[in-house]
């Protein structure tokens, strides 16, 4: 069974299409890049998988289930923007995740935060943007989920923070789970990707296995992305 299966998935805001007739299957146990320019429909796609938006037409299944209460127990979602109040302490965020999610591994989260040198009694507003991003990512990755949805996890942070975030994604996600990572920073994420989806103007332009495409085209995903979207 595919981790995610979409059939004619369409989402419109009024008359403007954000997603148009998206049909694809994404395998379990892989890290998949959802790659496209800004405004290509990446966030809309992820929010539908997270159960935050309903499609206008078509269907999407997560491990055979339509998005709803059952899938929310399988999905760990990292939004593009910080969701915690800046006045919260890290320990407050940990308690919130512990209370909300039965699959949250508090020990794992505290260990990762300790490696980062993040004090759990510190307030988010006292941290740099990169550190706040790391805290939120650690909490999301500390869940024992089947599907991790990461919306622009490396956008707006410095290169050192990007390296840590990508390392955390690779080493912390649950074995056998699927990671869908949305970004337009292809060069940074390419080394960790098993598969990819190029999304443009709400439509799937290309998708497949990353290594196969590199072997067939002789190009990196970054080079292929620049070629495909040169005149977008």
Q: From first to last of its 232 residues, what are the pLDDT tens digits of the chain?
A: 799 999 999 999 988 899 999 999 999 999 999 999 988 999 999 999 999 999 999 999 999 999 998 998 999 999 988 889 999 999 999 999 999 999 999 999 999 999 888 999 999 999 988 889 889 999 999 999 999 999 998 877 778 778 888 988 898 888 899 999 999 889 999 999 999 999 999 999 999 999 999 999 999 999 999 999 986 6
CATH number of 4-83+146-228: 3.40.50.300
Tell how strand 4-13 and strand 195-200 pair up: unpaired
Evaluate whether 1 touches 25 at the Cβ level (below 8 Å): no
Torsional class of 152: left (φ above 0), alpha (ψ -120 to 50), beta (otherwise): left
pLDDT for 115 equals 86
Measured CA to CA, the distance from residue 29 to residue 209 in angstroms comes to 13
Cut 0.85: pTM above it = yes
Q: Largest Cα–Cα distance of the chain, in whole Å?
A: 51
pLDDT for 16 equals 87
- Residues 6 or more apart whose CB falls under 8 angstroms from that of 106 comprise 94, 97, 98, 142
Task: Read off the tokens for 58.
Answer: 């078509």
pLDDT for 99 equals 95
Q: Count the Cβ atoms, other than its own, within 10 Å of residue 118.
A: 17
What is the dihedral sign for C-alpha 197, 65, 55, 133? negative
pLDDT for 160 equals 78
């Amino acid at each position: 069974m595919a981790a995610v299966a979409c059939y004619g998935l369409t989402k419109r805001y009024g008359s403007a299409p954000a997603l148009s007739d998206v049909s694809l299957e994404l395998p379990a146990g892989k890290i998949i890049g959802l790659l496209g320019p800004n405004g290509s429909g990446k966030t809309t796609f992820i929010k539908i998988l997270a159960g935050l938006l309903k499609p206008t037409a078509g269907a999407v299944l997560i491990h055979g289930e339509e998005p709803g209460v059952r899938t929310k127990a399988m999905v760990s979602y990292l939004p593009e923007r910080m969701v915690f109040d800046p006045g919260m302490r890290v320990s407050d965020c940990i308690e919130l995740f512990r209370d909300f999610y039965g699959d949250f591994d508090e020990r794992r989260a505290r260990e990762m935060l300790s490696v980062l040198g993040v004090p759990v009694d510190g307030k988010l507003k006292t941290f740099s943007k990169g550190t706040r991003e790391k805290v939120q990512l650690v909490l999301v990755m500390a869940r024992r989920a089947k599907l991790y949805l990461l919306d622009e996890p490396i956008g707006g942070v410095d290169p050192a923070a990007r390296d840590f975030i990508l390392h955390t994604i690779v080493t912390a996600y649950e074995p056998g789970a699927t990671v869908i990572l949305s970004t337009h920073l292809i060069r940074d994420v390419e080394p960790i990707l098993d598969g990819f989806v190029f999304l443009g103007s709400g439509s799937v332009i290309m998708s497949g296995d990353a290594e196969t495409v590199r072997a067939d085209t002789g190009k990196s995903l970054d080079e292929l992305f620049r070629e495909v979207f040169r005149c977008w």
